[in-house]
Structure 1
């Protein structure tokens, strides 16, 4: 993963395979996955996360048909296209779910008036 992260990016969640940053300057979430960067609005992030969650990984794992070897996804309002294997879908799900949980936690802390740790 890239070590040249702009100062305006705040890390939301990281796994071995990727990281999600939040950029307050552009009001975007940046998905870094397999050395690619995709900027998403909060709404597009939620929509993309739902797309990834709806992939039937059980069918991908059990099917012998070549059509189920990969899943092709295009994030909303993006020119990027992800062609994902079963393992990559699992890794992306983990990353997006972790980011979702951290964003929800930060929102709850702000509502309570607690300061969010930097």
Structure 2
């Protein structure tokens, strides 16, 4: 459940999910598969690394039933993600887009701060 007093800013969104930043709680919210999950900043990037490490080729070529889905239980959350190959790819896209936008925002702020210092 999302805190009603939170101040959210959209970081990245697709038709299948989104990542928001809460400046009040200093965390990220992932909206995916009809549910939301809050992550502390460090945990968000750890979760992204875990999703990026999923071997899609193995999921597609392994004939065992257990290879059809990946079960992820992110650290310090109450969420459990049961992901098919399509959902893993979708989640990778959402997380990669969010990371890119976070890094881009940091670079823009750094450039603006350096220009402000040079102006004085």
* TM-score between both structures, scaled by the size of structure 2: 0.87
Shift of 1:50: 0.3
Partner of 2:118: none
Count of residue pairs brought into register by the alignment: 110
Shift of 1:6: 7.0
Which structure 2 residues correspond to residues 49-64 of structure 1 after superposition, within 5 A? 49-64=48-63
CA distance in 1, matches of 2:23, 2:47: 20
Which one has the largest radius of gyration? Answer: 2
The alignment's C-alpha RMSD in Å is 1.4
CA distance in 1, matches of 2:87, 2:35: 13
Which structure 2 residues correspond to residues 32-51 of structure 1 after superposition, within 5 A? 32-51=31-50
| Residues 37-76 of structure 1: per-residue CA shift (max 9 Å, x gap) | 0000110000000000000001001111101000000111
Alignment gaps of 5+ in structure 1: none
Shift of 1:113: 1.1
* TM-score between both structures, scaled by the size of structure 1: 0.89
Q: Which runs of 4+ in 1 moved over 6 A?
A: none
Alignment gaps of 5+ in structure 2: 114-120
Partner of 1:9: 8
Shift of 1:13: 0.2
CA distance in 1, matches of 2:70, 2:89: 11
CA distance in 2, matches of 1:15, 1:63: 29
CA distance in 2, matches of 1:95, 1:62: 24
